[in-house]
Structure 1
Amino acid sequence: MQRPLEGIRVLDLTVALAGPYGSLLLGGMGAEVIRVESPSGGDIARTNPPYVGDHGFHFGAPEEGDVSLTILNRARNKKSVTIDLKSAEGRALLLDLAKHADVVIENMSEGATGRLGVAYDDIAAVNPAIVYASIKAFGEPSIYPGTKGMDIIVQALSGIMDVTGFADGPPTRFGLPIADLLAPLYACNGILAALIQRGRTGKGQHVEVSMLDCLASLMAEEHFDIFSGAGYPTRSGNFTDRLVPFGVYETSDGHVAIVAFSPAWMRGLFETMGRPDILDDSRFATRGPRMKHASELNAMIQQWTRGHRTEEVVSLLIARQVPCGPVRTALEVLGDPRLRERGAVVELEHPRHGKVGATGMGLPIRFSAAQVGFDRPAEELGASNEAVFGGMLGLGAGEIAALKARGAI
């Protein structure tokens, strides 16, 4: 089957995670992604341990032929070319490539694209139909000048740490680089919307996404301002008091998540516990009083779950149609054969050694009439120089060699 984005060409000027994850998604949906990296070493992620090569995985200094596991994950379905954007020849080469592209995606630091001469206005001047996407930490110009846009800094400023963790504990970092992973999802939405609009108007545009904006917009999904004013803490740990019973409860061998806020689910839970009398207790009969006495109700439920194994709790509650599930470890999820069959997680491949026995991100979108996925391993730095500069721009082998000798590529 065809891929949804076949025929769309993307120039990828991104580094680290936020940008490369966005271009990874576009490549997985069929876009031709040409990743532009510095000839002096490429994406900083190429130096992330662990490395894998002739001698398997290791965390030491990289040896000849070793590739960072990070790159094997984030650079699939992309062609790698090298261009020194700080040189006049390199900038001219990039602008020539832009004439043949549909999309440019970048996540450079504030002001960098302008200094290099590859900002939206520069690209649009040679290709007015270009869709140019920028992923920034705090917008451009930044609303926090001088602040580095690292994921943990964005999490701190977004408020997500304030609502993560237990009420009597410190603010807690989300367990994944959520800002780096969320912003490219919005960027891809913006890119696809701009391509649709270009199909109607023939004109491209600049799409900008701020990592902080993305997290802050999600913060407003919960009405923390109103709940805080009523005396409820912003951090509630493993429980959501306004929906109690709703939370993670300890078992004799692990933990289980239970959701039972509807009358039918509550009855199923309490009858399974052998405590149908709880339904007649004025503290728990309706939602308002239940919120005020959430800690007492959660203690009753946890006393019961602690007396049973996780598997037993889940089996008993599913039989009563009460929503529940075991809290799985990261390794259990990454090794789940059902998730691998669906392509949510996949095995990574080295460009020369094949499958390496490590898990990578899949493309969790399924189409009825299109094929998606990551079927081409990450390329070594500059592996597509000849194919792209020769095939797309018509440069001869001598011209390409001369550009390399001068350090432009």
Structure 2
Amino acid sequence: MTGALENIRVLDLSRVLAGPYCTMILGDLGAEVIKVEAPGGSDETRKWGPPFQKDVSAYYLSANRNKKSITVDLKSDEGIEVIKSLVQESDVIINNFKSGTMKRFGLDYETLTELNPGIVYCSITGFGETGPHKDMPGYDFIIQAMSGLMSITGDEESGPQKLGVAITDVLTGLYACIGIQGALLERTLSGKGQKLDLSLYDSAVSSLVNVGSNYLMSGKVPTALGNHHANIVPYQTFRALDGEMVIAVGNDNQFARLCTILEKPQLSTDERFQTNPDRVQHREALVPLLQEVFLTNTTAFWQKKCQENKIPCGPIHTIKDVANDPQLQARNMFIEYHHPTAGAIKMIGSPLKLSRTPVTVRHHPPDAGEHNEDIVTRFEFKK
């Protein structure tokens, strides 16, 4: 069996997370990904740590499997010619340089499409290539702040909070992957490539989904609800005797069953709480009544009760809990393989489960320039 994108070659001039995350997914799907760095290695994540394993950072390993690596000096004429030669033999080129940088290199879309009309050219920047902020540098933390995500994360006591991972990078990488595959599919009809202009800011704002829609419809500025849901009640964390858990009641029947196991059946017929809109309106009255009962027993007790009555619930896992979860182990979400420098490593696997073209780890995250000789030989570049 071969990968779904086996015949696709991707030239990856990106670094850090959004671009590399996108190209790792394409590589997981079978594409040949050629990672391009400056001599010595210019992807900053190689040095982002600790933790390191034999000088290889966990951060770099997390986003760079299934790639090959070459080093090219883009400040030299020879280096630019190498990229142009590779473009003629590639399907996709992706970069996350600041707006205008690729044009200064002579590697802008207009130039490269003359060399290869079928090239899919993906640009990832902080704010996009148009608009008044197009020249501003964009970093995940700043984008989380500006996009409104931080304003709805946390609560009154904590103040605005960022998510625990660089979520705008991850989202942009996913959107880039979707857009690239869409452009490749369209190319089978038109025979032509196209340019994708992706921004972290746009991607972050798109993730506001229902909360953003709530504001656009009502004009009411959403506030941080902590672990509460803006549109559903009860859908939040509750404290039990020995810790916290999540209850996610999605409809009125589930709420009625919850009231039964809490031995408070009268709450489901109370006119303030009969329907979800009623419960959202009277959230401040309902939640304390539920919380009082949850405090009478343990998280394990309530989770067992909820599961028996088909009420969505779940524990709040640490990353250690996640790494030892038998469900995730059964789904092969943690993979072990050998890295020539770091040795035996264990990393998070791919969530993509394809029946005929399964995801496989064909290449370890490469050392900088590891495949210089291989690529030079294959494409007959001058040394």
TM-score by length of 2: 0.93
Counterpart residue identity of residue 369, structure 2: G
Deviations 1:331-375 (A, max 9, x none): 21123233133233334642245323x4x3321111121121334
Measure the CA separation in 2 of the matches of 1:34 and 1:146. 27
Pair 1:270–1:188, CA change in 2 (3 A): same
Would you say 1:376 and 2:333 are equivalent positions?
Answer: no
Specify the alignment match of 2:215 in structure 1: 225
User: How far did residue 197 of structure 1 move?
Assistant: 1.1
User: How far did residue 226 of structure 1 move?
Assistant: 6.0
Specify the alignment match of 1:363 in structure 2: 350
Would you say 1:78 and 2:32 are equivalent positions?
Answer: no
Does the 8 Å CA contact 2:70/2:371 hold for their aligned counterparts? yes
Deviations 1:385-405 (A, max 9, x none): 0000111x224xxx42xxxxx
Would you say 1:270 and 2:259 are equivalent positions?
Answer: yes
Measure the CA separation in 2 of the matches of 1:288 and 1:70. 43
- 3-state DSSP class of the match of 1:132? strand
Measure the CA separation in 2 of the matches of 1:262 and 1:51. 44
Specify the alignment match of 2:317 in structure 1: 328
Would you say 1:385 and 2:375 are equivalent positions?
Answer: no
Identity of paired residues, percent?
Answer: 36
Counterpart residue identity of residue 192, structure 1: Q
Specify the alignment match of 2:26 in structure 1: 26
Measure the CA separation in 1 of the matches of 2:142 and 2:53. 33
Measure the CA separation in 1 of the matches of 2:154 and 2:337. 33
Deviations 1:289-327 (A, max 9, x none): 422321221112112222222111110111111111112
Measure the CA separation in 2 of the matches of 1:226 and 1:120. 35
User: How far did residue 145 of structure 1 move?
Assistant: 4.7
Measure the CA separation in 2 of the matches of 1:197 and 1:288. 43
Would you say 1:195 and 2:181 are equivalent positions?
Answer: no
Does the 8 Å CA contact 2:240/2:298 hold for their aligned counterparts? yes
Moved more, 374-383 or 161-170: 161-170
Would you say 1:89 and 2:75 are equivalent positions?
Answer: no
Counterpart residue identity of residue 162, structure 1: S
Would you say 1:394 and 2:380 are equivalent positions?
Answer: yes
Measure the CA separation in 1 of the matches of 2:290 and 2:308. 17
TM-score by length of 1: 0.88
Alignment length (residue pairs): 382
Does the 8 Å CA contact 2:40/2:368 hold for their aligned counterparts? no
1:152 to 118, 141, 144: 141
Specify the alignment match of 1:67 in structure 2: 56
Does the 8 Å CA contact 2:69/2:371 hold for their aligned counterparts? yes
Pair 1:67–1:259, CA change in 2 (3 A): closer
Specify the alignment match of 1:14 in structure 2: 14
Pair 1:5–1:376, CA change in 2 (3 A): same
Alignment of 1:2-401 (within 5 A): 2-50=2-50, 52-54=52-54, 66-141=55-130, 143-167=132-156, 169-222=158-211, 223-225=213-215, 229=219, 233-240=222-229, 242-347=231-336, 349-356=338-345, 358=346, 360-391=347-378, 393-395=379-381, 399-400=382-383
- 3-state DSSP class of the match of 1:221? helix
Two-structure CA RMSD over aligned residues (Å) = 2.0
Mind listing any 5+ residue stretches in structure 2 that lack a counterpart?
Answer: none
Deviations 1:100-144 (A, max 9, x none): 111101111121111111121222121111111111111013532
Pair 1:200–1:241, CA change in 2 (3 A): closer
User: How far did residue 41 of structure 1 move?
Assistant: 3.1
Does the 8 Å CA contact 1:67/1:350 hold for their aligned counterparts? no
Pair 1:135–1:348, CA change in 2 (3 A): farther
Moved more, 142-151 or 175-184: 142-151
User: How far did residue 80 of structure 1 move?
Assistant: 0.5
Mind listing any 5+ residue stretches in structure 1 that lack a counterpart?
Answer: 55-65, 401-409
Does the 8 Å CA contact 2:120/2:194 hold for their aligned counterparts? yes
Specify the alignment match of 1:57 in structure 2: none
Counterpart residue identity of residue 3, structure 1: G
Counterpart residue identity of residue 324, structure 2: G
Counterpart residue identity of residue 114, structure 2: A
- 3-state DSSP class of the match of 1:162? helix
List 4+ stretches of structure 1 deviating above 6 A.
none
Pair 1:241–1:148, CA change in 2 (3 A): closer
User: How far did residue 36 of structure 1 move?
Assistant: 0.6
Measure the CA separation in 1 of the matches of 2:129 and 2:135. 12
Measure the CA separation in 1 of the matches of 2:36 and 2:308. 55
Specify the alignment match of 1:407 in structure 2: none
Measure the CA separation in 2 of the matches of 1:7 and 1:286. 53
Measure the CA separation in 2 of the matches of 1:279 and 1:94. 66
User: How far did residue 154 of structure 1 move?
Assistant: 0.8
User: How far did residue 151 of structure 1 move?
Assistant: 0.2
